[in-house]
A and B are shown apart, each in its own frame.
Chain A
Amino acid sequence: MDWRDIWILYRRELRSALRERAIVVNSILMPLFLYPVMLWVMLTALVFVTGLSERTSSRLVILDVPSAHVVLMDTLQARTSLEIREDVISADSAATLIRVGELDAVVEFLPPEADARGMDDNFQVLIRYDRAVNRSRRARDRVESIVAGYRRRWVEREASALDISDANQQQFRILQDNVSSGQDMGALLMGVMIPLFLVLMVALGCLVPSIDSTAGERERSTWETLMTVSASRLSVVTAKYLYVATLGILAGVLNVAAMFVSLGAIVGPLLVDIGDGADAFQFSLPLLALPVMIVAAIALALFFAAAMMILAAFARTFKDGQAMVTPVYWLAILPIVLGQQTDQTLTPTIAAIPVANAARMIRDAINGVFIWPLIAETLAVLLVMVAACLLLARAVLQFEDLLMGSFDGSFWRFAKERLMGKRATEGTK
């Protein structure tokens, strides 16, 4: 292996790649713009839809309002978001109208339970609605909030008339105190999004280059040209591998930068519009998180590049290559999505699961958690996987028919026949 040759080959690969639209789009433009733009579009759409929902009035029927509570009726009628119909006089006919979508909810005042009649004018409210319909659920929420507020004030008034203090009437209260800072909330959001997108982007960054540098060369008939240059086979393969990994790293790093900027500049302001409390989210990263993320991106890129190139080496055309390599991309998502379901930090077990370990390591780093022995385990596991892939690649490339693209079959068939089967040496003949 000669590093001078590798550098010349690497530069050639990179120069060609940066002139190929599919590679520039997948490895640079998508990581940089797609997800920030997608986030902006999604959140803007959410704001728009929320706004539309808020403007839609809820159609109600109110039955059997006790005379002592006409104020509640007045309150409900005063709300512009509620449209109260007076042409329906029974609960049954109202329920029918809800089922056919002509009404959103019916509010029925009932007498209190037998053991709750100690207080004059006590009442129950039954809200009938259709849970399967958004508009009906929204009507329920609107009415429930108004009735609950009215009822709380009424109980307080009645209790006060009976000389029962506020403290006495509510001996058992549930209080909440959110101790997380805006920074913690920002870290929570980043911890969910950045690891997922970083892994996806590194894999996406490797996807097209891995196919282009193997199956693409065969399809363009440049593979044989390359096989006649004086550089060793190992130098050729190393240059290609480093080139694919470089684009994977580039995609990952660009995406993290873009995500970080867009979370602050796009997502934060949009959360205010949705009403999630802008003050609750502050986006900043611990200083150490950056090198940890970059190291994770490098390790992931080395792994994805090796795995994808092995599979793509079996393809004769770009299309075949896409079919063979794309499953790796989707497989990468599974452990991350499962890993998102828990608040657990990196453990020795998770650190032993490739890809999931890197995602968790990044999430921990965003949250300011650095468990160095487990970070070391994560990197060691990924590097062992890389080494295993490279050893496999070396074994596979010993077979001339595969090297020249005349082997007709997938990696699985090859592994079965050549690496494990009885005809292990035939390809070299």
Chain B
Amino acid sequence: MEKPVLIREDGLRHDGRRPDELRPIRMEVGILKNADGSALVQFGKTKVIAAVYGPREIHPKHLTLPDRALIRCRYHMAPFSTSERKSPAPSRREIELSKVIREALEATIFTEYFPRTTIDVFIEVLQADGGTRTAGLTAASLAVVDAGIPMKDLVAAVAVGKVDGVLVLDIDEIEDEFGEADMPVAMMPSLDRIVLLQLNGVLTREEFRNALELAKKGIMEIYRLQKESLTKKYLMYPEE
């Protein structure tokens, strides 16, 4: 595929967004019956669902830790989520992303409250259009809250990119593929802690600092939406 124009003459991106604009975001909490906690999150066309089971005891017992809960995290893409069918077998990418997502959740969950148990976090990407790990982590954090598991703060995440020399917020697949940098960032916003940070691309130190600022801006908005989605079902008075 030929490289499309990523920044138009009017300064807008290929989909009409401003450089600092997020895609339309939709979040819904508590959508699965079986899981202890769940959430569905959409960033534009990227659609992910996260579910949490636990804390619960699993066997074999010798795999548990005596002073805290284990976290088991699986980031997985559905075979129909990408343009070309993706094999269901875990790829090296999915293994790496499962690790960085788990580590982000380890930073926030009070695992020491549940020794000898396991907290299972499952993320399924249903449709992929860029920013799947950040949408997945955003959804996973909502699912953990929905499960009633104590945590320090929500985790809000977004990917910043550089396309045609311009730093942009919440990159989609096209911007990821043809751009010069892709930097996923996740934070615990109330505590101002960065719990996931990767860079795939080239940035000067100055660009990195600006990209981080831009990410923080997007993250505060996503954080606000997460909080809203959690209180949504409790603020609706049912009619009798």
Question: Are A and B genuine complex partners?
Answer: no
Q: Which A residues have a C-beta under 8 Å from some C-beta of B?
A: none
